Amino acid sequence: MSGTIVVAALYRFTRLENFEALREPLLALMERHDVKGTLLLAHEGINGTVSGHRAGIDALVAWLRADPRLSDLEYKESFTDAHPFLRSKVKLKREIVTMGVEDVDPNRSRGTYLEGEDWNRVIADPETLVIDTRNDYEYEVGTFEGALNPNTKSFREFPDYVREHLDPGRHKRVAMFCTGGIRCEKSTAYLKEQGFDEVYHLKGGILKYLETVPKEQSLWRGECFVFDERVTVDHDLKPGAYDQCHACRRPISEADKASPLYRKGVSCPHCHDESSAEQKARFAERQKQIELARQRGEPHLGHDPREHGNKE
């Protein structure tokens, strides 16, 4: 373990009939213990990633698990030297992970959980269709051997991918994975409801796999994108080699930053043709304010990676 800040990723699918009433006491607890990050609450449960010192994270998790509905909270940790988040937020949502399909309930039906060793055995079988349920830019920085890239820009596109490319008559065994496990709770539930029989799910996601499976036994290749200022983590769950374009929020390599299409905070090779001149001018002004705040030793609250992208 290295670093003094605990980064905790957590979720639980459960019926929270009064989820609105949890927001204020939960936010007060986070602020009292200097726990930063975002928690999402909805009728279907809780999801989020937060950071703090050991005592603060322990207090938050104990408070959540004291609620019988959240006692089996799915939870994993990594460590870093400074808060990767700038603010404490608790948001009320329709879904804790947005697929956009009504009535997909992982408590009713979902794939079979696999731990790391069993996951390796199943995905090594050529009869298994292995699908990375994350977004295309996440796939590009790292994935499992042999995994298919659905080329989705957001999780909302995943049901369309299933309808257009998968067939329960041909694809007899499907194994799916994501960053922390929550997207696969819904994606495997969706496949089961579409008539797929043998559906598997990497329990705890990539992060739990990297934590528990030794490198010499690992079938993971590359780094894992995370939705905070670390951008990516390596197999040791330490900050990886990627930076982030703060215009489009995609991960960028040193080669990307050497491109003439890269302007810090304004554009990168992935997004230079996706924004107007007016937007680029606005991004440039924002970057200027970020740099000025940094010189003063102050955080710039307009720059928070957790505000963007599909959160898990």
Kindly state the tokens that stand for 169.
């008559």
Cβ-based neighbour number of residue 102 at 10 Å: 7
DSSP-assigned letter for residue 239: B
Q: Are 116 and 209 in contact (CB under 8 A)?
A: yes
- 290: part of which helix (H) or strand (E)? helix 277-295
**Identity at 124, one-letter amino acid code:** A
Active site residues: 178
Cα separations in angstroms, 9 against 78, 109, 302: 9, 23, 23
Kindly state the tokens that stand for 20.
């609105």
Compute the radius of gyration of the chain from its Cα atoms. 20
Q: Are 5 and 52 in contact (CB under 8 A)?
A: yes
Which positions ≥6 away from 269 have C-beta within 8 Å?
Answer: 252, 256, 259, 261, 262
Residue 220 sits at the vertex; the CA angle it makes with 214 and 221, to the nearest 5 degrees, is 120
